[in-house]
Structure 1
């Protein structure tokens, strides 16, 4: 059974999500990583080495956006490029050991800001938001 959702309701949720993420980023700004860079690192940590096109499909965003993010991450020593063993003409992006500390620091900072925001809600409402997060992940994860 499929739930009927109006475009207006979906748009309201979309705008709320964008505003919510922007609010979290402003609460704990971190000049080390842009949002797309953090998502690239998280994908590489979760799935291992990936090609640029696969990363772009999973974010989702354009390949030029991922290429720019990877170039910045590579300059910072957080990722490296290597030949794809399945196709020597292709390149995979690999996370480096030094990136895990950076990623953890940024993620924990933003998680702290989120925890503070959730603390302003009733326990029941905070639990609803956390459950919504699990449902949103089901909508976005390809696996």
Structure 2
């Protein structure tokens, strides 16, 4: 929890809520997504994700488009501004980690890499 809280301080846009930032990260990383798929990835209901998407769209960080194969579906895509926020956040977090990582011993680094894989597996279940 403390690490998560500390990493949130490295976001490029402190005005975004954790759920808004996470949704933006999915769209940035995965490419255009339907609101339903984004809700699945975030493990929230589609109406809840729709509210999050509305906030991100109001801030100009994502845009809604009709799906090319089905005009009834809505696809969300990250804007250049949204992508810039994600890039800057990654840069800040990488710098924060690198500064602390270099203080670890080689054994501690190897252990941390293994733990990272395990934590990722737990998070994906």
Same fold (TM over 0.5): yes
Correspondence for 2:2: 19
Correspondence for 1:127: 110
**Deviation (angstroms), 1:32:** 4.3
Correspondence for 1:60: 43
Query: Does the C-alpha gap of structure 1 residues 107 and 68 become closer, same or farther in structure 2, counting only changes over 3 Å?
Result: farther
TM-score if structure 1 supplies the norm length?
0.69
Indicate the RMSD between aligned Cα atoms, in angstroms. Answer: 2.5
Q: Does the alignment pair 1:136 with 2:106?
A: no
Please give the per-residue CA displacement for 1:65-115, whole angstroms capped at 9, x wherever unaligned.
422322222122110011122322221111112222111111221232233
Please give the per-residue CA displacement for 1:44-65, whole angstroms capped at 9, x wherever unaligned.
2232211112111112233344
Q: Contact conserved, 1:24 with 1:114, CA < 8 A, in 2?
A: no
Q: Contact conserved, 1:81 with 1:91, CA < 8 A, in 2?
A: yes
Query: Does the C-alpha gap of structure 1 residues 116 and 34 become closer, same or farther in structure 2, counting only changes over 3 Å?
Result: farther
Unpaired runs of at least 5, structure 1: 1-17
Unpaired runs of at least 5, structure 2: none
